[in-house]
Amino acid sequence: MLVGVSVLVFSMLHFVPGDPARIMLGMEAGAEEVARLRKQLGLDDPLVVQYLRFAGGALRGDLGRSLKSNRPVVEEIKARFPATLKLALCGLGIAVSVGVLAGVLAAKHHQSWLDNAVMLGAIVGVSVPGFWLGLMLIYFFAVNLRWFPVAGAATLRHLVLPSLTLGLMASAVVARLTRSSVLEVMRQDYIRTARSKGLSERIVMYRHALKNALIPVVTVVGLQFGGLLGGAVIVEQVFAWPGLGTLAVTALQARDFPMVQGIVLYMALGYVVVNLVVDVMYSYLDPRIRCQ
């Protein structure tokens, strides 16, 4: 899987029009100078050799140097990654708490106004562009009410609006799935058994239904994490958040390809790892899978 990802990322870079050596040296450099640098960078070797060198380097934690700052790509990514991770995790926390709560309430009051409101909120939530939601939150909570800072990442209060932006968007998907999953579980025989034992509705809901209903939700939360990483790319722009997203956009605009390559590889890696964790968690949460 990761080999495939690295091949794709590597070959993309090689489809890029323009000579990396030329980009590094600028337009005024002489042909001889460019040729020397090409040789130095190993750009004249066969593609397979170049790929193996790239993959070998990547395995050892070396993704080359940025064309712009000439610093190692890995170093820059390491410096920025914690900020993005913090944002994505806070967003995920908000998404899960808001989404599960809304989904359970909607299912509990199935076909009531509350259910309709949650479903409407959920479909609006998947339709809102993140950058606009972020800007509107800035307008209301930072510009008008002055509760939170407009942008930056200095204090904990800076974290509130960007993670709220990401979290609210992701919570829409979580809410929808939680609702349908709870509704599904409520039809099962063991819920009828629990009710007929005379258990209170609260215990039936939280001890019997929710436990089972949350299993598919875990998968979607894992998938959402990838979406959050991607969403962070744009939301970080809105809040001038010094994370991987801002780095990626700057690198793209400067056509700093090793940097783009590194970030994309890093994020895909994160996504694959999270999905692996979800798979493992799945078998932990659902004994039926472990038995198979």
Q: Please give the residue ranges that form the binding site for other proteins (CB under 8 A).
A: 1, 4-5, 7-9, 12-13, 15-17, 123-124, 126-132, 135-136, 138-139, 143, 180, 226-227, 229-231, 233-234, 237-238, 248-249, 252-253, 255, 257, 260, 264, 267-268, 271-272
Measure Cα distances from 141 to 136, 145, 164, 179 in Å: 8, 5, 11, 30
> CB 173 → other proteins: shortest distance, Å?
12
> CB 116 → other proteins: shortest distance, Å?
10
Q: Residues 25, 30, 33, CA angle at the centre, nearest 5°?
A: 65
Closest CA to 94 of 159, 19, 188: 159
Closest CA to 170 of 222, 241, 236, 240: 222
Distance, CA of 139 to CA of 117 (rounded, Å)? 25
Pick 4 or 26: Cβ nearer other proteins: 4
Pick 218 or 272: Cβ nearer other proteins: 272
> CB 13 → other proteins: shortest distance, Å?
8
> CB 136 → other proteins: shortest distance, Å?
7
Pick 92 or 229: Cβ nearer other proteins: 229
Pick 12 or 35: Cβ nearer other proteins: 12
Pick 74 or 229: Cβ nearer other proteins: 229
C-beta separation of 216 from 177 below 8 A: yes
Closest CA to 118 of 174, 165, 176, 164: 176
> CB 139 → other proteins: shortest distance, Å?
6
